A = this chain, B = another copy of it.
Amino acid sequence: MNFDILVLGTSSATPVSNRFPSSQIVNIYGTPILVDCGEGTQMQLRRFHVSFGRLQHIFISHLHGDHYFGLFGLLSTYELFHRDTDLHIYAPEELKQILWSDWSPVKANELPYPLHFHALPRQGGVIMEHKNFTVQALPLQHRIDTWGFIFREKQREPNIIKSKIEELGLLIEEIISLKHGQTIEREDGTKIYPQDVTTPPPEPRSYAYISDTKYIPQLAEKLLGIDVLYHEATFDNAHLQKSQLTFHSTAAQAASIARAAHVKKLVIGHFSATITDMNKFFEEARAIFPNTVLGYDGLKISIPVKKANSEKSGNA
């Protein structure tokens, strides 16, 4: 039931020595997912002790080099390791042309493992459905087609109260029905109500990765109540014009989105190498959204299991 984010790279287009280009590992229910794969991602995975052989899903937000140039090395390393398990890439359509072209740096057709390509839908939508979570692509506004990604834990079933199992002699089928909210009526006429033998499940958790994009105030509606929001903050407001010209956001704008969306925590990253005083990003964002964390290579954030919202439960 873990739900963790490991930030691997926090620089924008131009890497600096202590900040690599964009990439992250989102780990949900033991399923590691790579989000973006800038140059040097495989070195960062090693540096931060991620066993990347288990990785099966890679999401690429857009085709600027600082978000996917690490893919060539990573795919090649899997070849050297004689990987034979499926690997899924969810990315803009054009990446398929790049990887499968005759002159691709990595010949997708000749890899010893099955590489599956999933083109991101222009209008967005759920692009991956797992037993325990979904991943949704969200169109952003950048210089080229770009998508954000929202990872949402699915609503879990209510928990059965263990003492009730023995007390009432509950059978497996009865437990399943009760968890699904169905009332049990036994042959002797006794009724067992779900709300008497279950506790409400924890609230689903969520994480959103929004990079790269210009400031889109309307985005907040789509991010309402997100637990952790990673939002690019390439510039500070002193560079507002440059930010607009390049279709990027400032730290203040990222914080405005976080505030309007009532997210629990904001992580900012994708910092321009031209701004070396990180306080500028930090102070600007915190003034608008206090629970802001400055992203750095190696930052790990765990989203803890939440207590049930009793107002939503049948026990109210």
Taking beta carbons and an 8 Å cutoff, which residues of A are in contact with B? 13-17, 20-21, 39-40, 42-43, 46-47, 65-66, 68-70, 72-73, 76-77, 80-81, 94, 97-98, 101-106
Contacts and interface: CB of A to CB of B under 8 A. Distances in A.
A47 to B, nearest CB: 4
Given A66-B73, A68-B105, 13 more contacts: A16-B46, A17-B47, A39-B42, A65-B73, A65-B105, A65-B106, A66-B76, A69-B105, A98-B103, A98-B105, A101-B102, A101-B103, A103-B103
Contacts of A17: 43, 46-47
A68 B39 CA distance: 12
Query: Could you say which of A68, A69, A102 has the most chain B C-beta atoms within 10 Å of its C-beta?
Result: A69
Given A65-B105, A101-B101, A80 B43 contact: no
Contacts of A20: 43
Query: Could you say which of A77, A94, A103, A104 has the most chain B C-beta atoms within 10 Å of its C-beta?
Result: A103
Contact of A72 (B15, B47, B72, B94): B72
A153 B17 CA distance: 32
A46 B103 contact: no
Contacts of A76: 13, 65-66, 69
Nearest to A96: B103
Nearest to A71: B105
15 contacts: A13-B76, A14-B77, A14-B80, A15-B43, A16-B46, A17-B43, A39-B39, A39-B43, A40-B40, A65-B76, A66-B76, A69-B69, A69-B73, A101-B102, A101-B103
